[in-house]
Amino acid sequence: MDKKRKFSKKALRDFDLIDAAIARNDQSAFAELMATYKNSIYFTILKMIRDPDDAEDLTIEAFSKAFNKLDKFKKDYTFSTWLFRIATNNTIDFIRKKRLKTTSLNTSFTDDSGKNIDIDADFSFVRGLDKTNNTNLSFMPADKFQLTLSTKESRDLTTSIRFTKGFEQSRLGEFETTTPGYSLIDIYGSYSFGSSNGNHRLIFNVNNILDEEYYNHLSKIKTIMPEFGRRISLQYRYLF
C-alpha cells in the first residue's frame, strides 16, 4: 500500500475484505465486495452496449475475472478503480469478439385495428469441450431462449414484453455445480413528443417483473448471491 496516499474509509474497508478473501477464501467478503459495486458496474456496462442481458452477463464476468486475480491487486490505488478497468476492458473485448451461436426468428403482422406487432424469437447456446481429456470447459453460459413481442401504438408510443427462459446448466467443468433454470418477464416502453424547444423521450423498463430468484452459472459466488430481483427504471432524454 502507498502509505503516503490517503484512502477513504470505503477504500480501506475494501482492502480489509480483499485480505479476508485471499487469506481465508471468505465468501462473505466476496459477497460484500460484489454487493457494493454490482449496480455501478452493471450500469457502466449497460451504457457501453445498451443490452440489459449482455450487461448482466458481463457484470458477472467482470467480478469473476477480478476475484480470480485478486491476489494480483496492489493497494497503490482503490479496488473500485481496478475493478472498473477490468469491467470496461472486458466489455470492449466483448464488443470486438462476440461469438455466440444463435438461432433467430423474426416476423411481424398488423392486427384488425392497424397496430403493428413484431415477434422476435432467439435461442442461444455455447458449447465448450477440452479435447485433451474430452471434458466440458468451465464457465460456459446456460442455453437461453427469448421471445419478444413489440407493438407500435402510434408514431410516438412503443411497447414490448419479453419472456426469457434460462435452461438448467448441467454440462459442468471442474469444481462447478449445477445451476437451475429460470423464467423471467420484462416490460419496456418509450414515448416521444416534441415541443418548441426540441424533442423529448420517456423510456421505462421493468425487469424481472415477477421478482423471481435466479442464479447465473458464470457467477463465482452464485451459491450465496442470486441475480437482480425486480428493477424499475425511468429515463428522460432531451434532444435539441
Q: Which residues pair with 194 in a beta bridge?
A: 199
Given a cut of 70, whether residue 96 has pLDDT beyond it is no
Q: Residue for cell digits 469444481?
A: 175
Q: Are residues 110 and 223 in the same domain?
A: yes
Contact indicator for 94, 48 with CB cutoff of 8 Å: no
Q: Which of 37, 65, 98 is the last residue of a domain?
A: 98
According to DSSP, residue 70 is labeled G
The whole-model pTM stands at 0.59
Q: Rounded to 5 degrees, what are φ and ψ at 104? A: -125, 150
Q: 3-state class of 37 per DSSP?
A: helix
Question: Most confidently modeled of 121-125, 223-227, 230-234?
Answer: 230-234
Spatial separation of the C-alpha atoms in residues 113 and 95, rounded to whole Å: 40
Binned at pLDDT 50, 70 and 90, residue 14 comes out as: very high
Binned at pLDDT 50, 70 and 90, residue 199 comes out as: confident
Lowest mean pLDDT of 65-69, 94-98, 124-128, name the range.
Answer: 94-98
State which H helix or E strand residue 47 sits in: helix 27-49
Count the domains in the chain.
2
Q: Which CATH number belongs to the domain containing residue 58 in this structure?
A: 1.10.1740.10
Q: Are residues 70 and 156 in the same domain?
A: no
- Tens digit of pLDDT for each residue in 142-188? 899 999 999 877 668 889 999 999 999 998 887 788 999 999 999 99
- Tens digit of pLDDT for each residue in 78-88? 999 999 999 98
Contact indicator for 73, 80 with CB cutoff of 8 Å: no
Spatial separation of the C-alpha atoms in residues 89 and 106, rounded to whole Å: 32
